[in-house]
Homo-oligomer: A and B are copies of this chain.
Amino acid sequence: MPRVTISEIARRAGVSKTAVSFAFNNPSRLSEATAKNILAIAEELGFVPNPVARSMSTGRTGAIGVLVPQPLPEVFRNPFLPAFLEGVGEICTKARLSLMLAPPIEGSMRRAIDNAAVDGFLTLGLEEFKSTMVVLRQRGVPYVTVDSDPIEGAPGVNVDDEGGACSVMRHVLAAGHREIVIIAIRSGKQAHFREYVGTLRNRINGYLAALDEIGATIDGRKVRLLESPATEQGGREAMIRVMKATRKPTAIVAMSDIIAIGAMREAIDRGVDLPKDMSFAGFDDVPLAAWARPPLTTVAQPACRKGQLAAELLLQRLEGKSDAVHYLLPAELVVRSSVAAR
């Protein structure tokens, strides 16, 4: 804790606290001499204004929070987050805002939201969507949702998950695959895929739409669904489950590149010849995807752009401008060579 306060400076300089405050925030309102003197004394005493006290007074913290759906370690194991934060960071830097990461506290979003000393929130792929929205509204600071169902009254940024998912599944089907395992991102609460919400639901819907075009669906036999954390390790473990089953798919379609990459690694380690014996497709187009062997066919989404846009929207809200705009960014199929013809 900073020991020396403005009162101390004021005492030593023989002025009031106001003067000290002015010297720092509004020097033009003081005579040059006194301002200089105050600053000198402050410097000498090593005075640092207490940021909490300042926030208390101004009602502003100068920070925005990013509400992430999983604990920090897990969420940083997916390269999507850094890309997103790169975009957020760009806007924050310009606006001189700092960035607070707010993961669920002991599983509770409410506590994360209530504890964070921030001026606003960016929410990323919320799981307990509706209840979190209630808490957020209650908290009384502006927020912008990313990768959640558009909500009335709050700006949001989404990508065309359904379209992207549909196009990648079409690509896989067009290559002749019929025995497919879809690896979904494991959501906090277990739910049947028909009950997915937000991004998860949109992607599943995209897959289903493409499957439907050839009269297929997720039937648990030819086309199956697995869930996995969005980490490389999660992908590996999903693959282990796949390899254990008697029925082997010819293609894996993962909802996240990092899952696909983990699964590929595990497959390679087990001697599967990719993509000849098994095809893979992902979602996100993280940098790794282009480098993977075989290079991963996936859906590109503008992660960094999403961050920028979301942060910009929040900024506008903080400044009182802007109403609840909703962006829908395109998602684009990126064909590489991890999906082989069957």
Residues of A at the B interface (CB closer than 8 Å) are 1-3, 46, 48-49, 51-53, 55-56, 59, 61-63, 71-73, 75-77, 79, 81-83, 85-90, 92-93, 96, 98-103, 105-106, 112, 114-117, 138-141, 232, 287-288, 291-293
Which interface residue of A112, A140, A291 has the most chain B CB atoms within 10 A? A291
A59 to B3, CA, bound (A): 12
Give the residue of B51, B100, B141 whose beta carbon is less than 8 angstroms from that of A98.
Answer: B100
Establish whether residues A117 and B55, one from each chain, have CB atoms under 8 Å apart when the complex forms: yes
Closest 7 A/B residue pairs (Cβ): A72-B89, A76-B86, A51-B117, A291-B291, A46-B138, A2-B140, A99-B101
A310 to B84, CA, bound (A): 25
A199 to B273, CA, bound (A): 42
Taking the nearest CB of chain B, how far is it from the CB of A71, in angstroms?
A: 5
Taking the nearest CB of chain B, how far is it from the CB of A69, in angstroms?
A: 14
**What are the residues of chain B within 8 A of A72 when measuring CB–CB?**
85-86, 88-90, 92-93, 99
A292 to B75, CA, bound (A): 23
**What are the residues of chain B within 8 A of A75 when measuring CB–CB?**
89
**What are the residues of chain B within 8 A of A287 when measuring CB–CB?**
232, 288
A266 to B114, CA, bound (A): 47
**What are the residues of chain B within 8 A of A82 when measuring CB–CB?**
76-77, 79, 81-82
Taking the nearest CB of chain B, how far is it from the CB of A262, in angstroms?
A: 11
Establish whether residues A2 and B139, one from each chain, have CB atoms under 8 Å apart when the complex forms: yes
Residue of B nearest to A72 (CB): B89
A51 to B121, CA, bound (A): 14
Establish whether residues A51 and B116, one from each chain, have CB atoms under 8 Å apart when the complex forms: yes
Taking the nearest CB of chain B, how far is it from the CB of A44, in angstroms?
A: 11
**What are the residues of chain B within 8 A of A288 when measuring CB–CB?**
287-288, 291
Establish whether residues A48 and B138, one from each chain, have CB atoms under 8 Å apart when the complex forms: yes
Residue of B nearest to A140 (CB): B2
Taking the nearest CB of chain B, how far is it from the CB of A134, in angstroms?
A: 9
Residue of B nearest to A111 (CB): B96
Establish whether residues A56 and B59, one from each chain, have CB atoms under 8 Å apart when the complex forms: no
A8 to B78, CA, bound (A): 44
Establish whether residues A52 and B63, one from each chain, have CB atoms under 8 Å apart when the complex forms: no
Establish whether residues B59 and A71, one from each chain, have CB atoms under 8 Å apart when the complex forms: no
A291 to B288, CA, bound (A): 8
Establish whether residues B117 and A52, one from each chain, have CB atoms under 8 Å apart when the complex forms: yes
Given A79-B82, A287-B288, 6 more A-B residue pairs with CB atoms under 8 Å apart are: A1-B140, A52-B61, A72-B88, A73-B87, A76-B82, A99-B100
**What are the residues of chain B within 8 A of A48 when measuring CB–CB?**
114, 138-140
**What are the residues of chain B within 8 A of A112 when measuring CB–CB?**
98
Residue of B nearest to A291 (CB): B291
Establish whether residues B114 and A61, one from each chain, have CB atoms under 8 Å apart when the complex forms: no
Establish whether residues A106 and B101, one from each chain, have CB atoms under 8 Å apart when the complex forms: no
**What are the residues of chain B within 8 A of A292 when measuring CB–CB?**
291
Establish whether residues B73 and A77, one from each chain, have CB atoms under 8 Å apart when the complex forms: no
A62 to B112, CA, bound (A): 11
Establish whether residues B100 and A63, one from each chain, have CB atoms under 8 Å apart when the complex forms: yes
Establish whether residues B90 and A73, one from each chain, have CB atoms under 8 Å apart when the complex forms: yes
Which interface residue of A52, A56, A63 has the most chain B CB atoms within 10 A? A52
